[in-house]
A and B are shown apart, each in its own frame.
Chain A
């Protein structure tokens, strides 16, 4: 029995060598972080920036794109040099690679999207210490080939972006009645649209604690839909 399974496994490995680019395993690398292995709600990584930049959808989208860019390039480059990095100084090597990429992002934002860059302020710099990036580098890129690392980076940053966009959707819609800066519920100062009927914005949605509560609700809903994720304390 044992021998036959070993032979089977050997066959599997031989087949794996000529794996197609989007095999089932590779597709899982992208789809898993979107739901059951979401970096924010399940792995609990990269929360600082996720909570702080969600007051406006525009900032949230820009932030997600910045993280996508940094994470893909960092994951691929660390994965390329993974056999050359001495284990003792790997954190410093990772920090330098990530910091260089973040400087590029910061300069591009300052040049082309100055208002968003002002609003994100220190949080662009904090991508360096964003735990998603360090976490994925440590957990995945150091032990895998460049192509799966790139897919893992895409999946995780999409999962991160998804939570950011959903949270900022509720915060901007109910906090200031806008989406991407467009007035959905009418103009609050001129009392048009819903405001004419006495509707008022919920100022709490613009304050920091509301993002925490919204993420908590997100986790709650996610775990109700998928009970296998429930923790036992």
Chain B
């Protein structure tokens, strides 16, 4: 039940796009067609599910105050938390590289679908933001952290596919010239965000 709750919260209530604006740059850039939005959305879910558990382990066994005590008594007072950013981004960048290579070897079809998006994801704020929120929420177990990663990814995926579908529909609408393109995308996202506010306080 707890896991379901974490999933629902991260996917709908604290939706990455509508509540925190994570990954807005790529969200606006790829949301012109549903097909590319679908590809990038899948890649984000994939990378979040892979990197959040890794970052969880690093946070709990390397970075936190006293996390190094498994090395011996004398390390129990070491606090490396100021290295968080550089460790997380290094993990993300290298995992993305690794994942890209593995996917290319194992499943060329999946690589064809995700390929061009994977390198971009290293600099997507959704991934680093997910890791930093994971750190802030202090999950007890690695399962909870993984479910959080999955939920956030699904939330991002839903948001990007929804707006891509809307933008495809309004392509031939007669929008005032000065709102065309980015302006309209912002307005639509704002309205979608208002709708998603309805999930506020939602719990199972």
> Which residues of A are in contact with B by a Cβ distance under 8 Å?
41, 44-49, 51-52, 91-92, 95-96, 99-100, 102-103, 106-107, 121-122, 125-126, 128-131, 134, 207-213, 215-216, 219-220, 223-224, 227, 230-233
Contact = CB atoms under 8 A, between A and B. Distances in A.
Contacts of B186: 212-213, 215-216, 219
B29 A103 contact: no
B171 to A, nearest CB: 6
A99 B83 CA distance: 9
Interface string B164-198: 00000001000011111111101101110110010
Nearest to B192: A209
> Which 3 pairs show the lowest CB-CB distances between chains A and B?
A209-B193, A212-B190, A223-B178
B181 to A, nearest CB: 4
B86 A103 contact: yes
16 contacts: A41-B182, A46-B25, A48-B20, A48-B22, A51-B24, A125-B128, A126-B22, A126-B125, A129-B127, A131-B25, A209-B18, A213-B187, A216-B187, A220-B178, A223-B183, A230-B178
A219 B183 contact: yes
A134 B177 contact: no
B199 interface: no
A215 B182 CA distance: 10
Interface of B is mostly: helix
Contact of B24 (A48, A209, A210): A48
Contact of A227 (B83, B177, B181, B193): B177
Contacts of A99: 85-86, 89-90
B82 A107 contact: yes
A210 B86 contact: no
Given A121-B136, A128-B89, A216 B183 contact: yes
Interface of A is mostly: helix
Interface stretch (B43-51, B116-124, B139-147): B116-124
Contacts of B190: 209-210, 212-213, 216
Contacts of B128: 125-126, 128-129
A134 B20 CA distance: 20
B6 to A, nearest CB: 18
Given A48-B125, A131-B123, A208 B180 contact: no
Contacts of B18: 208-209
Interface of B: 18-25, 28-29, 82-86, 88-90, 93-94, 119, 122-125, 127-129, 132-133, 136, 171, 176-184, 186-187, 189-191, 193-194, 197
A100 B89 CA distance: 11
B122 A91 contact: yes
Contacts of B197: 207, 209
A114 to B, nearest CB: 15
Contacts of B90: 92, 95-96, 99
B113 to A, nearest CB: 22
B122 A95 contact: yes
Contact of A209 (B29, B124, B132, B191): B191
Given A48-B23, A103-B82, A126-B132, A95 B89 contact: yes
A212 B189 contact: yes
A210 B88 CA distance: 31
A142 to B, nearest CB: 15
A230 B82 contact: no
